[in-house]
Amino acid sequence: MTEMTTSRQGARIGEWLAFYGLSVLVALLLSALLVEATGGDWRPVVSALLDGSLRRPGRWGETLGTAAPMLLVAVGTIISGKAGLVNIGQEGQLFVGAAFATYFGFLVGGPGPFNLVIIVIFGAVGGALWAGVAALLKFWRNVPEVLSTLLLVAVGGQVVAYGLGQSWLLLAPLGDRGNRNQVSQQLPKDNRLPSPRSVRQPRFRWR
């Protein structure tokens, strides 16, 4: 029985890998067709995509760093789907969770490893509270979560933008820094998770 279950799990993982690989291939083919349809040459475009994501030094880490928030959103989608709910507001929940994490990271402080735990916990709490607004609307007023979670993305973005402009919330940038990109002050380096951008690229040639 155990061997059969392991075999099925292995086959399932193989199906997932094949599906994702096929998805990437189809995306590249569609991109190439669109470039050709507009009179361009698809070869330098595909080469630039590979250089920007994999082949150039440090691009592995850059790709992982960009994908991490998307993977968090994907996990949220899976969990809500398993619960029979349609949550499409993970972007807003991610905004609010990141704001909570940064705020309490500044507020609590402390040694780096301790503060990292605080940041992760309060980031999860912030995202859960924002998702809880949609949950409250659903079970109190029977508002469909599809609508409430989607609309709360815009509200969450505005709430976080407001926080980034208020010095008393500890999120506003320093006076000598522009606020064009709505970035908060930076946590100390020992209070941050290691950046995947520091991942060294394997030394091998693709061509």
pLDDT tens digits, 70-95: 888 888 888 888 888 889 898 899 99
Confidence band (pLDDT; 50, 70, 90) for 205?
Answer: very low
Q: What angle do CA 94, 95, 98 make, to 5 degrees?
A: 80
| Strand blocks (E) in 52-201 | none
Whether pLDDT at 97 is above 60: yes
pLDDT (average), residues 100-120: 87
| DSSP string over 29-55 | HHHHHHHHHTT--HHHHHHHHHIIIII
Counting residues of the chain whose pLDDT is more than 70, the rounded percentage is: 86
Render the burial of 173-205: b for 16+ CB within 10 Å, e for the rest.
beeeeeeeeeebeebeeebeeeebeebeeeeee
* This prediction's pTM: 0.73
Across all residues in the chain, what is the average pLDDT?
82
Q: Residue 121's Cα: distance from chain center in Å? A: 17
Cα 37 to chain center, whole Å? 32
Q: How far apart are CA 71 and CA 69, in angstroms?
A: 5
Q: Give the pair of three-digit tokens for residue 96.
A: 């609010």
pLDDT at 64 over 80: yes
Q: Which residues of 140-162 are buried (b: 16+ CB within 10 A; e: fewer)?
A: eeeeebeebbbebbebbeebbee
Express each pLDDT in 146-183 by its tens digit: 999 999 999 999 999 888 877 777 776 655 555 555 56
24-33, 59-68, 126-135, 173-182: least confident range: 173-182
Taking alpha carbons only, the member of 183, 157, 181 closest to residue 172 is 183
Checking if the pLDDT of 100 tops 90, the result is yes
